[in-house]
Structure 1
Amino acid sequence: MRRSYDVMFVSSNRHKYSESQEILESFGISLGFFRSDLLEIQSDSVYEIAKNKALDAYAKCKKPVIIEDDALVVKSLSGFPGPYSSYVFKTIGNAGIVDLVKKSRAAHFSAVIAFCDKKKKPVLFEGITHGAISKKPKGRGWGYDPIFIPAGKTQTYAELEEKNAVSHRYRALAKFASWFANRQ
């Protein structure tokens, strides 16, 4: 018997899904996973990338979906890698970012959650967590988690047990959950 979900998370990244599922469960929303590589347009706007991904996700899944696109924004690097975070991670990784940061280590992480259903008008929710880039990768985690220290903390996302309570993803999903509960 197939389980019915409130919404499907479409991504090729199981880590993002697992964190999102745990977060949305706390809001009473059941989240399924639809594994798919999504069309990612080249844009300087995380919002435009997320909107296009959401439309592609709905076209593939044919159920209400959410996708996430995120950006690591380093102030001293003029906002780099920003919307190119995934590509930059694949090419130079955490060590490359740490090597590039010579001045201010100030940074923020932004997550944009895009919801799309049969209306085909994506609705977007952004969450931002300010912080800094560590001097070296610390902890066991995925993506940029070993080098991002959220404001008010001394540990990287990868070292924090309560990452889901302070992350950019949590902030965006909390906004989505509030909207989702009150729509209709």
Structure 2
Amino acid sequence: MQEWNDVYFVSSNKHKYLEAKEIMSSFGIRLGFFQASLLEIQSDSLSAIAKTKALDAFSKCKKPVIIEDDALVISSLGGFPGPYSSYVFDTIGNKGVIDLVKGNRSAKFHATISYCDKKRKPILFEGITPGKIAKKISGKGWGYDPIFVPRGKTKTYAQIPDKNAISHRYRALAKFASWFVRTRR
């Protein structure tokens, strides 16, 4: 299997990078890490946010890059927090989200991977994992992992050892990896 090492994951979140690195290694892609805070526009569109971040990442790294932006979408809250997931997590946390959700606990996790290099405008790859919000925080993990239960599972992301094989991030990165390897042949 050929290995690629000419793409960098740009983020200020090392947790996202470590998950992405593990996932990409299963596709024979070595992922570099470029730690940077990126421009994050305020938008209801995850795609618009991801494109802007990818352009900013490329301008800082000067090498082919991917960025990942994600959103927790809760049905009973009209899709909230959506693209505001980081802000909501930082302000009310997992307990606050659990307290907001009454009745219908249905939710989805969206991930958007945006690739950018000197030849291309940002290209998007999306992954979605349906599930629900747990009634209590369970497991040790980062972000919303202790409260998100993927469909077909009884445990949260934080409690599932193979999270990286079923996550929204995996689904988006798998689409990117397939495209990336194909375009590098």
User: TM-score with structure 1 length normalisation?
Assistant: 0.97
Point out where structure 2 has 5 or more consecutive residues left out of the alignment.
none
Is residue 2:88 matched to residue 1:91?
no
Q: Give 1:71's aligned residue.
A: 71
Mapped to 1, the partners of 2:148 and 2:161 lie a distance apart of 14
Q: Please give the alpha-carbon distance, in whole angstroms, between the structure 2 residues aligned to 1:37 and 1:84.
A: 17
Deviation at 1:6, TM superposition (A): 2.2
The one-letter code matched in structure 2 to 1:66 is I
Structure 1 unaligned segments of length 5 or more: list them. Answer: none
Q: What percentage of residue pairs aligned between the two structures are identical?
A: 70
Deviation at 1:183, TM superposition (A): 1.2
Corresponding position of 2:156: 156
- Could you give the per-residue CA deviations for residues 95-116 of structure 1, whole angstroms, max 9, x where no partner exists? 0000000120000000000000
What's the CA shift string for 1:59-94, capped at 9, x where partnerless?
000000000000000000000000000000000000
Q: Distance in 1 between matches of 2:126 and 2:111?
A: 6
Q: Which amino acid aligns with 2:41?
A: I
Instruction: Tell me the residue number matched to 1:38.
Output: 38
Alignment of 1:82-161 (within 5 A): 82-161=82-161
Matched positions, count: 181
Q: Is residue 55–residue 120 contact of structure 1 (8 Å, CA) maintained in 2? A: no
CA–CA distance in structure 2, aligned partners of residues 70 and 53 of structure 1: 12
Match for residue 177 of structure 1? Answer: 177
Per the normalisation by structure 2, the TM-score is 0.96
* Conserved 8 A contact 2:6-2:63: no
Residue 5 of structure 1: how far off its partner (Å): 2.4
Equivalent-residue separation in structure 2 for 1:140 and 1:106 (angstroms): 22
**Whole-Å Cα distance in 2 between the matches of residues 119 and 155 of structure 1?**
43
Alignment deviations for residues 110-156 of structure 1 (CA, whole Å, 9 cap, x no partner):
00000000024000000000000000110000000000000000000
Q: How far apart are the structure 2 equivalents of 1:6 and 1:96?
A: 40
Secondary structure class of the residue paired with 1:145: coil
- Kindly report structure 1 stretches of 4+ aligned residues shifted beyond 4 Å: none
Equivalents in 2 of 1:166, 1:75: separation in Å? 21
Instruction: Report SS of the residue matched to 1:183.
Output: helix
> What is the CA–CA distance in structure 2 between the aligned matches of 1:71 and 1:144, rounded to whole Å?
10
Are 1:50 and 2:67 an aligned pair? no
Query: What is the RMSD computed on CA atoms of the aligned residues?
Result: 0.9
What is the identity, as a one-letter code, of the residue corresponding to 2:124? L
> Aligned equivalents of 1:58 and 1:138: distance in 2?
37
Tell me, what secondary structure is at the counterpart of 2:29? Answer: coil
